[in-house]
Amino acid sequence: MCIPRWPRLLASLPLVWLGRIVGWVRPDLAARLYGVAWILGDNVDGAVRAIESVLRSKGPAAAIGLAREWIRWRPCAPVAAMAGLIAVQQNKLALAAGLLAEAKDGGPDRSGMVDMLEWLIESRPNIPSSAPNASELAAAHRRRTYELARRMESRRDLSPQLSRTVHLALLWGDLEGHRFDEARRRAKRMLQIEEEPQAEIVLWVLATRDGDDRRAAEHLQRAALEPVERMLLQVAACQAIGRQDEADDLLAQIDRLRSAQAQAVSLEAAGAREAGNQ
């Protein structure tokens, strides 16, 4: 198109904004507006929003179909990555991998979705539990994921969400690799940035290992999670540092807690039934 990009982008902005307003009641119409914005002004934000609208109104298959149609016509990294993320959600990893390849050939990606897609594909174990060497495969996968995380950590242009995910992967990787000082340092840094229950649990298990019960109790208290969720993380942390006995104890506690919760729920339901009969 011979018209410079900025007037076209300027003209496309009201369409995207209108699409956002219309999208609350008519996602299909919003998708069309976003589509026009993309065609008119190469407005990538509009294209991604269009796919989101189609996802909401017509489902994942239609959204992926629209994205593939568009990238055949005009390659675009964020559009391909958006479709890939939907494919990952649908557990269609082969399709997602194909879309990732197209995304990497689709020019610049300002949104950071291509990195997120790559991470989600690479970090997903996808190992059949029936495989004879499943545990070895899982260990090899964990190593690969850790290496990928290290590579991503060195980058300075990742989105905050992906950085958090990468740091969590490294945190657990360091704990499993018994690099405790590194894990402690990383957990403390994460806590400087945000309230992160997983970092608190890692610090809890390290404090327990050091025999510092007071500090361990503080970290456990700060891990703002539901009891069962918190205990599951504690199990993972104990297993990571090889404290299987404590992990088993915790699993037993979780069983007891869950059965007590189930009992309480069934009693409540019975009470409600009785009240209804009366």
Partner 1 sequence: MNWPSIDVLLMLPALLIGLTFHEFAHAWSSSLLGDDFARRQGRVSLNPLRHLTLPGTLAILLLPFGWGKPVPVNLYNFRSPKRDYLLSSLAGPAANLLLALVGLGLVQLMRHTYRFGEHADLAALTHLWLVFFVITNFGLAVFNLLPVPPLDGSKIWSCIVPGWKASTLERKGLFLIIIVIVFWQGPLGRRYGAAVDRLVDFMASDYMLVREISHKANEALAAGRFDEAEALLGQVVAIDPASHTSYYARGVVHMQKGDFTQALDDLSRAIELSGGDPDYYEMRARAFGGLERMEDMEKDLATARSLRGECPAASQPAAGAEERSTGIRNRGP
Size of the site for partner 1 (CB under 8 A): 24
> Which parts of 142-171 interact with partner 1 (CB under 8 A)?
156-160, 163-164, 167
Q: Tell me: does residue 184 bind partner 1 (CB under 8 A).
A: no
> Which parts of 237-266 interact with partner 1 (CB under 8 A)?
none
Task: Tell the smallest beta-carbon distance from residue 166 to partner 1 (Å).
Answer: 8
Task: Tell the smallest beta-carbon distance from residue 110 to partner 1 (Å).
Answer: 5
The owner of tokens 């060497």 is 133
> Which parts of 67-86 interact with partner 1 (CB under 8 A)?
none
- From residue 16 to residue 35, what is the string marking binding to partner 1 with x (rule CB under 8 A)? xx--xx--------------
Give burial (CB, 10 Å; 0-12/13-18/19+) of 126.
Answer: exposed
Based on CB atoms, which residue is closest to partner 1, 36 or 87?
A: 36
152 CB contacts (<8 Å, ≥6 apart)? 115, 119, 158, 162, 166
84 CB contacts (<8 Å, ≥6 apart)? 95, 96, 99, 100, 103, 117, 121
Distance CA 130, CA 206 (A): 34
Task: Tell the smallest beta-carbon distance from residue 14 to partner 1 (Å).
Answer: 9
Pick from 101, 193, 217, 269 the residue near partner 1 by CB under 8 A. Answer: 193
Distance CA 16, CA 30 (A): 8
Based on CB atoms, which residue is closest to partner 1, 164 or 179?
A: 164
Pick from 105, 195, 255, 268 the residue near partner 1 by CB under 8 A. Answer: 195
- Contact by Cβ (8 Å): 84, 119: no
Q: Taking contact as CB under 8 A, which single stretch among the options 7-15, 128-136, 196-204, 259-267 is the one that binds partner 1?
A: 7-15
Task: Tell the smallest beta-carbon distance from residue 227 to partner 1 (Å).
Answer: 22
Task: Tell the smallest beta-carbon distance from residue 232 to partner 1 (Å).
Answer: 24
- From residue 100 to residue 139, what is the string marking binding to partner 1 with x (rule CB under 8 A)? ----------xxx---------------------------
The binding site for partner 1 (CB under 8 A) comprises 6, 9-10, 13, 16-17, 20-21, 110-112, 156-160, 163-164, 167, 189, 192-195
